[in-house]
Chain A
């Protein structure tokens, strides 16, 4: 360390014994020949002492109340998380049940079907996927009852022909 370079930033670490041996010896050597730095060192020591004594007697809270408040806050966060977690799983479960119902309602054995019927079935199949992708609709299980009717519209008895009085 040059004699004319004051080790300002190293003075507090020197006071607190944080420096390596080499740094400590270098600062000590400088202090031997520098009254300014010795005065700085003493002043810093006094300020540190003053701060330590001034803030050492801060009032402490009632730790029992502090801990119960902390516990309550933590449980509050946990409950909120738990609710979200449950809601997520409930939604997934409902989606699974809905998908299972849709699959179960589809006919398992198939006869040879004409091309027109096949095209219609594919259309219905894609509607199934669309329905599953649109989860909020699937979640409404009551809609599935309607879906059952819609899927088998072709099996519904034709409406009675109105009697034509002119024929």
Chain B
């Protein structure tokens, strides 16, 4: 399976090949989870939603027509599942607590390692909190666009395909998202 492309594996999944499905999960589980976590802010939600996305992939692999890259198609499933999840919870306003968010004291940054000085750990925590709060100011589309670009390295065109919008709109989301982030991060310094 290792030599097969994502697209080839996906065609096999469409025929019910469980081995191909396992291979695709192997390749994309970390990225799907990370993307969902960044959008939803909760480890439990990220786990559930990313698993739902894989189940959806298994059920609808036959709908992948190969016009876009597999990853673009699959991230679209992940983002849609995140949006559906948030819509159900009606809690986009709670937003993206990265590790150590002030909003969610239950999910804190890892305790400092033995090699890390206490001051450095505190600074890292403070920095993570600032970034988390700044990301919380973005609209879901802006946040998704920025995270897909930064985390997954997608181009504006691919982000447009994931978010189902024009390439220009994707660029607007990224631009406005970065403007808001810059302003928020500057305020927090």
A113 near B: Cβ within 8 Å?
no
| Main DSSP-derived SS at the A contact region | helix
Interface residues of A in 17-65 (CB under 8 A from B): 18, 43-44, 46-48, 50-52, 54-55, 57-61, 63
Q: B99 touching A59 by the CB < 8 A rule?
A: yes
Residues on A with C-beta less than 8 A from B155 are 13, 16, 18
Of the candidates A10, A48, A57, which one forms a contact with B150 in the assembled complex, judged by CB atoms under 8 Å apart? Answer: A48
Q: In the complex, what residues of B have CB within 8 A of residue A61's CB? A: 33, 43, 47
- Which of A12, A55, A60, A70 lies in contact with B51, CB distance below 8 A? A70
Task: List which A67-104 residues lie within 8 A (CB) of chain B.
Answer: 67, 69-70, 73-74, 77
Q: Is A8 an interface residue (CB 8 A)?
A: yes
Q: How would residues 32 to 45 of chain B score, 1 for a CB under 8 Å from any chain A CB and 0 otherwise?
A: 01100110000100
- Nearest CB to that of A43 among chain B residues? B182
B98 touches A58 (CB 8 A): yes
B84 to chain A, nearest CB (A): 16
CB < 8 Å: which of A8, A46, A73 contacts B175?
A8
B47 neighbours in A (Cβ, 8 Å): 61, 66, 69
State which size class the interface on B falls in: 35 or more
- Taking CB atoms, residues of chain A closer than 8 Å to B178 are 12, 44, 47-48
Q: Is the CB of A50 within 8 A of B185?
A: yes
B128 within 8 A of A: yes
Contact: B156 with A47, CB < 8 Å? no
Closest to A60 in B: B30
Question: Top 3 A-B pairs ranked by shortest CB distance?
Answer: A54-B131, A9-B171, A70-B51
Chain B residues in the interface with A (C-beta under 8 A): 25, 29-30, 33-34, 37-38, 43, 47, 51, 54-55, 58-59, 98-99, 110, 127-128, 131, 135, 146-147, 149-151, 155-157, 168, 171-172, 174-175, 178, 181-182, 185
